[in-house]
Amino acid sequence: MADRTSLTEMLPPPARVAVVLAGGGGGPEGLGPRTGTGSSALHQVGGMPIVERTVRMLLAEGVERVVVIADEDATAVAGAAQRPDKDRVEVLTVDGRATTEPRHLAIAEAAVAGEERLVLVSSDVVFTDGALSSLVRSSQPAALVEPGTGRFAGAFMVGPSMLGALPGIGGDTDGGRAVTEAVWRTAAERGAREVPLPPGTASLSVATPEDLPAAGRMLRRSLIKPTDGPVSRYLNRSISTRISMALAPFRLSPDSISVVAGILGVAAGWALAWGRGLLGGLLIQASTIIDGVDGETSRLQLRSSPRGAAFDAVIDRIVDGSLVAGVALWLWPFHPSLEFKVGILASSAYGWGFISYVFQRRLTGLEVTGQEHSLIMLLGGRDSRLLVLSIGVILYHPGAAVAVGWAVYLSSVSLRVFLTRRRAGAPPGPVASPDQVGDPAQGDLGEER
């Protein structure tokens, strides 16, 4: 299945410049009087001001320069908007006492002069990750709409034929929302096409205090990935996504959360080495849940990088090595010394982590999609294997847990081979090791950030 990078490479390049309308929201019917903030762009959703989230998304999609127009709380808006990149984000201020003249778009006319395409976004709309990817690459004027309903989703691509008309569109409007609605009406008259939100993404206009928790729920649901296995989707994510949203205001580093997950996993291995099945099983599940929080936090903060993915994978393997060593020491026929246990646990954790670092790009699994993917992930996904192990050790049957874990893994490998041969009619590629099958698709510790 093609990844997002390969798909976007087939589309036109993104627009060079985007304008974010961060004015308004403080009127008598808006959020300002009821929440104590003048501009709706400053309201926190998912631990981040809406305007900052919008700017980060535009920059992540390849937009080179973002112009933010503010008319209320301009200093605070500038601080939030320029936090991702001061050099690429410019904040222009409209006098809040005279928002109808000069008009919002008129003040940006000089800043966007000469641009063939321009992305226009209202900062009182919350988007999930990837929602703007199709629009910013549109080669002609277009409006982002909700699939099926045609409802305007708060973002627009302006083409050459409309650039000259932009400064006059605002009319006697008040705030960014009215300006974007005026652009939407003008665009419809000029035959602009509709671009639906990409599958799996969503947007929500925040106009009242009741919309803020609704936007938070929308972001939380977006953290559940279509490629998650059943155990991750229905068990782990139901807990981890709530933890991620609760921690979001603290802006924790995803790497620090990965380290916490690793510490819990190593502690679980240590507990198993001493035969503490209940404690070990609970620590395994705690590690698995926190294992998902780091990737969710990365997506919430829009902080992806290949280095983060590599770091996650190494931590994952360290945990796996510790758990294997812990079960082995529990089943050891003699009574090993403290030094022996420490040596086995340390060497296993280091060895599995080192092997992962050296060979992780060479170990590739067999790709299966659709309903077959869910079955594969149920049988061979890491979340499933760790759940089996935690249940087994809590019941004080570590040997049976390991045997069942290997059985489900081998079943998933056999099913992958069968489905791949049936689909392609050719011998499959190399089979991944047990600790690699399903991990990239799950993305619990493999989130790029």
Rounded average pLDDT over 158-163: 66
Q: Using the predicted structure, report yes or no on whether residue 135 has a pLDDT greater than 80.
A: yes
- Residue 324's nearest CA partner among 273, 263, 278 is 273
* Percent of the chain whose predicted confidence (pLDDT) is above 90: 38
Rounded to the nearest 10 degrees, the angle between the axes of helix 277-301 and helix 382-394 is 150
Answer whether 185's CB lies under 8 Å from 162's CB.
Answer: no
Q: What gap in Å lies between CA 132 and CA 176, rounded to an integer?
A: 18
Rounded average pLDDT over 379-393: 83
Distances (CA, A) of 284 to 239, 269, 278: 14, 8, 10
| All structural domains of the chain | 4-221 (3.90.550.10), 224-442 (1.20.120.1760)
Answer whether 355's CB lies under 8 Å from 318's CB.
Answer: no
Rounded to the nearest 10 degrees, the angle between the axes of helix 382-394 and helix 398-424 is 160
What is the model's pTM? Answer: 0.81
Residue 209 confidence (pLDDT): 84
Quick one: pLDDT band at residue 223, thresholds 50, 70, 90? very high
Quick one: pLDDT band at residue 75, thresholds 50, 70, 90? confident
Q: Using the predicted structure, report yes or no on whether residue 211 has a pLDDT greater than 80.
A: yes
Distances (CA, A) of 443 to 39, 291, 438: 36, 9, 9
Largest CA distance in the chain: 85
Exposed (0-12), middle (13-18) or buried (19+): which is 70, by Cβ within 10 Å?
A: buried
| DSSP 8-state code for residue 153 | E
CA dihedral 377, 379, 381, 386 (to 10 degrees): 140
Q: Using the predicted structure, report yes or no on whether residue 44 has a pLDDT greater than 70.
A: yes
Q: Looking at 122-131, 202-211, 432-441, which range is the least confident one?
A: 432-441
Answer whether 354's CB lies under 8 Å from 320's CB.
Answer: no
Count CA atoms within 13 Å of residue 8 on its CB side: 17
Residue 347 confidence (pLDDT): 82
